[in-house]
Structure 1
């Protein structure tokens, strides 16, 4: 069993996680700049009340 056969899935999963982190980060910054969420919403991390389905989906993917 070569080292690449087990390392490739790990590397791909790590890349997917990093991409998901950046998507979530940019979605939260965008919603904050547009005024859809406030800084106080980050205390509870409850974005379900807002009209931001993209923010909610990206947060769930990260979790």
Structure 2
């Protein structure tokens, strides 16, 4: 599933960035450019980050095909 249409960022991209050490929205923005255009993806990206950092995997919908 796409997180950011403007930059073509998927949930998988966000998860990979977290796996590589991103632990804040600022780091996601620096690494992936999420939220750098229209900004509509910022809330969802933050939600994914918080869910992942809190270990709440049941609430995530990861696109395995991406």
- TM-score past 0.5 threshold: no
Q: By percentage of residues, which structure has more helix?
A: 1
Q: By percentage of residues, which structure has more strand?
A: 2
Q: TM-score, normalised by structure 1?
A: 0.31
Q: TM-score, normalised by structure 2?
A: 0.30
